[in-house]
Amino acid sequence: MARRDLVVVGASAGGVEALVQLLRTLPADLPAAVLVVLHLPTGARSALPQILDRVCALPVAQAVDGAPLEPGTVRVAVPDRHLLVADDHIVLARGPRENSHRPAVDVLFRSAARSAGRRVVAIVLSGALDDGAAGMIAVRARGGTGIAQDPADAMYPSMPRHAAEEGGAEHVVPVDDMGALLGELLSEDISLAPEPPASGLMDTETAMANLDSDALNADDRPGTPSGFGCPSCHGALFSIAEGGMERFRCRVGHAWSPDALAAEQSHALESALWMALRGLEERAALSLRMGDRAEQRGHRLSARTFQQRHDEAQEAAVVLRQLLLKGELNGEGLPDDVEEA
């Protein structure tokens, strides 16, 4: 018999508070390695290891590429690098973003599932949108165990709710109860019988996250053409159906969950509306200037034409301002828990 010995944790908006709560409950003799991904803005410097080290009985440090997994330690993802697991070692990679994030929760979960199978416990904490659901599906497919923060206990309930409802996490509990639950799960004997093998899709997507050239250059792309474009590179997105969840990945590897894709499309639409409004305002201002000059020169027909162009541009600008004010086309009409992390 064997035991679970790898805990992977993912969080986003509201995640610092949840991580502090979780790590405060872990005992100093925890018989597992703990890997943590918190979604961070690009280029951000993270003080998360120092913050968590102050409250955790286990040593907490930034993840180091090539380091072995060590029971009784906590390793935190580095900004702008995916955190992966391969052959019980840590891998840091600058692969394509998933849901606009690097590091990304799904990348860590998927690679841990591929490498450690039944030995994995995956935890999804507070966060917006549906990050972590696809990774939880991968962990469960390989026989691992899933825990989601009780949505009622989370500052941002969307991520843990999706992890439970779509990802199939078996345990949904408040953060304060997770330490005791982990103690039970890590002390249980688990079967040494072969777990379900890693799928070709799991192999390919993990390789993409590690910038494997064979995976990125393969003619056979995961999924089927979706008819949508990638917000990151504007290439074609392919639809992937896994565990009852549909998600998307482009040729160069950018990956999107449904909520993340919709949110990114909303941001792109808002940007387009502002650009269109700017263009209309400039057209109106130019038409007004040219009309004044034409009037001064006695060219009344030209002046009327420029005035008409000015009025049309102003009318169209009013429509765009109303759309921006309502926020219905740029995602502001969504519930609070599905705003971007």
- Which residues are part of the catalytic machinery? 12, 39, 131
Per DSSP bridges, beta strands 33-38 and 74-76 are: parallel
Structure tokens at 189: 């004997």
Largest CA distance in the chain: 96
Distance CA 137, CA 133 (A): 6
Exposure of 254 by Cβ count < 10 A (0-12 exposed, 13-18 middle, 19+ buried)? buried
Q: Which of 72, 58, 66, 57 is closest to 85 using CA atoms?
A: 66
Secondary structure (DSSP) of 107-140: HHHHHHHHHHGGGEEEEE-S-STTTTHHHHHHHH
Which residues, including other chains, have CB under 8 Å from residue 341's CB and lie 6 or more apart? Answer: 12, 13, 39, 101, 127, 128, 129, 131, 156, 159
- DSSP SS3 for 325: helix
- Residue pair 94/80 in contact (Cβ under 8 Å)? The answer is yes
Exposure of 23 by Cβ count < 10 A (0-12 exposed, 13-18 middle, 19+ buried)? buried
**From the CB of residue 304, how many other CB atoms can be counted at a distance below 10 Å?**
13
Instruction: State which amino acid sits at residue 229.
Output: G
Structure tokens at 163: 């992890």
Beta strands in the chain (DSSP E): 2-3, 6-11, 33-38, 60-62, 74-76, 82-86, 89-93, 120-124, 145-149, 171-173, 189-190, 224-229, 236-242, 245-250, 255-256
- DSSP SS3 for 77: coil
